[in-house]
Structure 1
Amino acid sequence: MADVSRLPWAITDHWDWQVHAACRGMNSELFFHPDGERDPSRSERVAAAARICASCPVREPCRDWAHRVAEPYGVWGGESEQERRESLARLRRG
């Protein structure tokens, strides 16, 4: 029998949580900044996205995924790009 222990796991194991996301089917522009976006527009967009994330049933797996892959763009699990960078830096410092 072939050794399958080194094969990657099913992709659905990574993404099943997305089916239940509050943002599913929404315009992704709310969660990802357009080129050249600056405050106050950026802060308002991030706050609107975070409000959607606040009541999302899969907020934690979403944020965990973004941390695990060091996602550089967008609002994931209620965290902006800057908040995620700061959170990951705190975790690295211990």
Structure 2
Amino acid sequence: MIQPLPAWMADGLCAQTDPALFYPDSGSQARPAKAVCTGCPVRRDCLEHALTNSEQYGVWGGTSERERRRLHAQKGATR
């Protein structure tokens, strides 16, 4: 069953940007996508969504896949 998109996603600056920017090819920089995220009003919601749902690809909440893995590891270490 396909889940509906969270309401906050419509308020994301990424909704007004080319989605490909948030899924850079291997070896490409995530910096342009992160720049969009910097001023986004739903950045925290986006990051929380990515962490909760273990998003493995793309830039979410201003973080790359590697940065989210690091955040997951840090959360596990503090439990």
Q: TM-score, normalising length from structure 2? A: 0.88
Letter in 1 for 2:18: N
- Matched residues in 1 for 2:20 and 2:44: separation? 21
Q: Return the index of the structure with the highest Cα Rg.
A: 1
Following TM superposition, by how much is the alpha carbon of 1:22 offset from its aligned partner in structure 2, in angstroms? 0.6
Gaps of 5+ in 1: 1-10
**Residues 1:68 and 2:52 are matched in the alignment:** yes
Alpha-carbon RMSD across the aligned residues, in angstroms, is 1.4
- Matched residues in 2 for 1:68 and 1:23: separation? 19
After the TM superposition, which parts of structure 1 deviate over 4 Å for at least 4 consecutive aligned residues? none
Task: Report the count of equivalent residues.
Answer: 76
- Identity over aligned pairs, percent: 33
Q: TM-score, normalising length from structure 1? A: 0.74
Letter in 1 for 2:49: W
Following TM superposition, by how much is the alpha carbon of 1:29 offset from its aligned partner in structure 2, in angstroms? 1.1
Q: What is the aligned partner in structure 1 of residue 42 from structure 2? A: 58
Q: What is the aligned partner in structure 2 of residue 26 from structure 1? A: 17
Following TM superposition, by how much is the alpha carbon of 1:27 offset from its aligned partner in structure 2, in angstroms? 1.3
Letter in 2 for 1:48: P
